[in-house]
Amino acid sequence: MTSPVRRKLEQLVAQSPIVDEQIPDKWSAFREIELIDFPLTFSFRHSFGKVSRFFIELENKRLMGTCCPCCDSIWMPPRVICPEDRKVTNWIELPGHGTLEAFSRSAYSLGSDSGTESLVLGYIKLRGARTAMLQQLRNVSDGDNLAIGMPLKVRWADGQVDHPMELFWFEPDL
């Protein structure tokens, strides 16, 4: 019989993990399982709120952090309020150079248009900043020896991107 649900893939019964027949299976009424193909496509609008300037300035190839007027701590990613002094921070432009604090390689890429290149993410501490930001590392092959403390520099996209965070990435500063 054909199912009235077009996207139904399979209907099956999950086996009980209980091997002792003397122990009642309290989940027996819930072992029938239906699998369906259910792709999700949606559009999502998001405001960057008080940190919008960070994303706007990326379009101008500027990395903006925030600075506490009390303790002079520089925050990157930017923070609206200093977590130390609870004071409203001020915007400050940061240099495009920093050091690698941590990194992770993934066998998976960001999307279908990024090819077969693996994804490398790193925490980069920009010069002067108290905190590190998570961003993609590019032009690092599997043979490269990424190391904590290695110098990095920002690189900017030439064309249009889908999200402001795709406008920049970091590469080894050799």
- Token pair 């599997």 in the structure block, residue: 142
Cβ(153)–Cβ(96) under 8 Å? yes
- Asked if residue 145 has pLDDT above 90, the reply is no
pLDDT in the model for residue 112: 47
Closest C-alpha among 60, 57, 91 to residue 76: 91
- Asked if residue 52 has pLDDT above 80, the reply is yes
Cβ(130)–Cβ(74) under 8 Å? yes
- Asked if residue 67 has pLDDT above 70, the reply is yes
pLDDT in the model for residue 78: 97
* Mean pLDDT, residues 144-166 taken together: 92
The three state secondary structure string of the chain is CCCCCCCEEEEEECCCCCCCCCCCCCCHHHCEEEEECCCCCCCCCCCCHHHHHHHHHHCCCCEEEEECCCCCCEECCCCCECCCCCCECEEEEECCEEEEEEEEEECCCCCHHHCCCCEEEEEEEECCCCCCEEEEECCCCCCCCCCCCCEEEEEECCCCCCCHHHHEEEEECC
Instruction: Report phi then psi at 125, rounded to 5.
Output: -100, 110
- Taking the C-alpha atoms of residue 133 and residue 101, their distance in angstroms, rounded to an integer, is 9
pLDDT tens digit sequence for 74-129: 999 999 999 999 999 999 999 999 999 999 988 766 554 555 567 899 999 999 99
| Domain spans of the chain, in order of start | 49-172
* Mean pLDDT, residues 129-133 taken together: 97
